[in-house]
Amino acid sequence: MANNKSFSKRHIDISERDKETLLAWRVAPNVVLESGRGCIVTDVDGNNYYDMNAGMMCMVIGHSHPEITEVIHEQAGKLIHESSWFTNPHIVELGELIASTLPGDLNVVNFCVTGSEAVEIGMRMAVGVTGKHDLVSVIRGLHGGSLGVESMTTIGGARRRNLGPLMIPAKSAAILAPFCYRCPINLEYPSCDVACLKTSRDLIESVTSSEVAALMTETMMVAGGMIVPPDEWLPRMRRLADEHQAMLLLDEAQFAPAKTGRMWGFQHYDVQPDVVAFAKGMSAGFAICGTVTTKEIADQARSKAGIPWGGTYSGDPLAAAVALKSLQIVLRDNLTERAAALGATLREKLDALQKKYDCVGDVRGKGLYQMLDIVTDKESREPDFLMAERIRYNAVELGVLFICIQNFIRISPPLIISEEEIDDFVGRLEKAIRRAVAGHPRDLDLSKQSHSLMPVVGHA
């Protein structure tokens, strides 16, 4: 892998054209990618990088998997798209296979195109079935970008500027995140007895009409800081939903399948939701996402609040065939167990970095989905956006790509990653940390990083 990112004229030209023509998220250095295989992606200059977020957390079996490539070629020669008034064998088999991985009677799937739609379908189901309108979400949660789910999102206020009049009014972000590293009520677990949820119960009574249709949460709040709930939290959320005769809607867009060492993240907590949304990893990089519920709820929701939801591309045969093959491979190759085992290896190495460097305040996550919380120092736990961004920038120069938002560095490689690749990646990450601690690069300007969740701060 190349250690020096001195981009060619062609690379820079494409990047500049991208900037002029496209309204999109970009960060510096803007890497122009051309190909990928396994855990490695390659730019137009031939430089290789570890892809430590598996694309946008989608490529759970890596890039250009030969069986996926074969399915794409075969299906592209048969049927790519069809009217959503009709069906195809692949979408039926995919729905059946997804249902077979879920506990209880979660066995009816409403397919869609984006994760935002998937969560919003769950919201529609809750409102349609309960006849109530308050939707209650967790502070520090992120559920997507459409106006419905943006209303429930509480990450990055800047992304919602001027949208207020367009977002749904009957909603409340009233549940405190179980953020033990930075407790929202300044207590300590376990002596607190998860007091954040008791406070949340009071908030729900205070800020809603008490006509609650659903409590909704990510199983772990990723964009909010990879907040891994205490074991008691999600079961108590289930009981709180039952108290309000409301649904429990879980957003599993980031976790299923297998990334956390369980097929579904909520299986760590022995809880069954009423509705669960999936996206990213279930999609194999194609635009196919969805929502799963019970037949009883599906029947009650039908013809209410726009359910079933369908669009032009919902369940297209090409996307369905690829997603089906990807999930079959995850199950066949026991990648859930692999994620648990290699996740323990990765976590051990990241914990070693946390002990060694004062800027790594905490490491959180499960399985092969981990996060570094970058701070000014361990005692204050003050978030250090600039240090985190320096680490990310240095990592690019060292042949590693990952997502860094604010002071949170996400690490979610393809589940096929090897132990040798983990060793190499962590070595490069440590070098990136050392460079950042030394102040490199000194002219990094955070105000020019265009991601919607980046803080507006200057350079140093």
Instruction: Give 236's pLDDT tier (boundaries 50, 70, 90).
Output: very high
| Average pLDDT of the residues of the chain | 92
Higher pLDDT, 444 or 267: 267
d(Cα 262, Cα 221) in Å, to the nearest integer? 17
Instruction: Give 144's pLDDT tier (boundaries 50, 70, 90).
Output: confident
**This prediction's pTM:** 0.92
Question: How does DSSP assign 104-153, residue by residue?
Answer: TTEEEEEEESSHHHHHHHHHHHHHHHH---EEEEETT----SSHHHHHH-
Which domains occur in the chain, in start order?
Answer: 9-61+384-448 (3.90.1150.10), 70-332 (3.40.640.10)
Query: Stretch 154-183: mean pLDDT, rounded?
Result: 79
Instruction: Give 220's pLDDT tier (boundaries 50, 70, 90).
Output: very high
* Residue 72: predicted pLDDT: 98
**CB-neighbour burial class of residue 85 (10 A; exposed 0-12, middle 13-18, buried 19+):** exposed
Of the listed ranges 167-171, 180-184, 260-264, the one predicted with least confidence:
167-171
Q: 């039908």: which residue's tokens?
A: 302
* Residue 4: predicted pLDDT: 46
Higher pLDDT, 368 or 310: 368
Query: What does the buried/exposed string (b/e) look like for 421-444 if buried means 16 or more CB atoms within 10 Å of the residue's CB?
Result: bbebbbebbbbbbebbeeeebeeb
**pLDDT at 450 exceeding the cut of 60:** no
Higher pLDDT, 312 or 451: 312
Q: Which of 16-30, 57-71, 128-142 has the highest mean pLDDT?
A: 57-71
Apex 358 CA angle, 352 and 361, nearest 5: 75
**CB-neighbour burial class of residue 205 (10 A; exposed 0-12, middle 13-18, buried 19+):** exposed
Q: What are phi and psi of 341, to 5 degrees?
A: -70, -50
CA-closest candidate to residue 68, choices 248, 333, 322? 322
Residue 176 is given by DSSP the state P
**pLDDT at 43 exceeding the cut of 90:** yes
* Residue 454: predicted pLDDT: 55
**pLDDT at 273 exceeding the cut of 90:** yes
Token reading at 403: 């997502």
* Residue 339: predicted pLDDT: 98
76-99 residue pLDDT tens? 999 999 999 999 999 999 999 999
Instruction: Give 157's pLDDT tier (boundaries 50, 70, 90).
Output: low
Instruction: Give 459's pLDDT tier (boundaries 50, 70, 90).
Output: very low
* Residue 460: predicted pLDDT: 46
Instruction: Give 448's pLDDT tier (boundaries 50, 70, 90).
Output: low
**pLDDT at 393 exceeding the cut of 60:** yes
Q: Which of 60-69, 137-146, 207-216 has the highest mean pLDDT?
A: 60-69
